[in-house]
Structure 1
Amino acid sequence: MSQPRFWLLAALIVGAVLARWIPHPPNFTPIGALALFGGAFYADRRMALALPLSALFLSDLAIGLHLLMPVVYGSFACNVLLGRWLRHHWGVGNLAAVTLLGSIQFYLTTNFACWLMAYPHTFAGLIDCYVKALPFFRNTVAGDVTFVVFLFGTVTLAERLFPLFRERAEQPATL
């Protein structure tokens, strides 16, 4: 990876992490988008996974720790895998699909865990948990879409305007 591209991606990641600390509606965060971004733009699997989860952990240290953290982290690790898939199936339609799929799996996974911890273990309790979480799901989708557009759009625009940001920047011919 070229140095300019590395610094562009690093700056976007830092910006996304900082955005988590700005006042926002519940679940309107950059972390889901950041996990997709890491999976899509980092060839090294460890880096793709470490960046969003480290960002989440560092911001959780400041914001507060909670019992559902292992489930939340596992869910974002799934988003990294979706981003890895996107790496080899690039397209706007696929980006939209994995963004929505990431939001859905986060909603289903974390609220199932919430049901296990805080609701009656009945079908009615499960439905009640998911229904009460719908406003959070709306915010998750809105946050994921907003930050995916920002992160992926910024890289795409930079690559089109400035060849040095491309993954394999063309080298000028020498005489």
Structure 2
Amino acid sequence: MDDPIISTATVADVSELNQLVNSAYRGDSSRQGWTTEADLLSGLRTTEADLYESLANPQAQILTYRAAGRLLGCVYLERKEAELYMGMLTVSPDHQTGGIGKRLLVAAEEMAKGFGCQMITMTVISQRHELIAWYERRGYRSTGVTKPFPDDPRFGVPAQPLTFVVMAKSMGEGQPR
């Protein structure tokens, strides 16, 4: 990749972010990568309205990863007192396994430390075993807390009952591998 750049998204990025996130999580295009949710959920992963709302939140931001001018990844981060909530870690299906997700994860962790956050937390669909294992290899652990998947078609229509596991990593631990 030529000169990758990680920066903060702006409203000008919303349309491109919407396309990236939905292509990576849902539908046939997501099956090119290993992070697809297409067998678990139908519908959209996000909308432009949701992304505008996220960018309007003063406690939140979306980091973008671009190489050769192309948006290849993003991650949503929201400060919640001493924690940084991380969600929507996304890599273009045709660029997965190239280290972009790891780079975004490291950037999120550096941001958490810069904010003085003690911990990063996230929710992962419990049926996403490979993804949970990927986070575990980077120092994230299940907290033992589960949350119900929203009963709202705006978040997708589950093909089976789904729950979230809450994962966390203390910012006092070593860097991810």
TM-score scaled to structure 1, two decimals? 0.30
Higher relative contact order (CA 8 A, sep 6+): 1
Pair member with larger Rg: 1
More helix by share: 1
More strand by share: 2
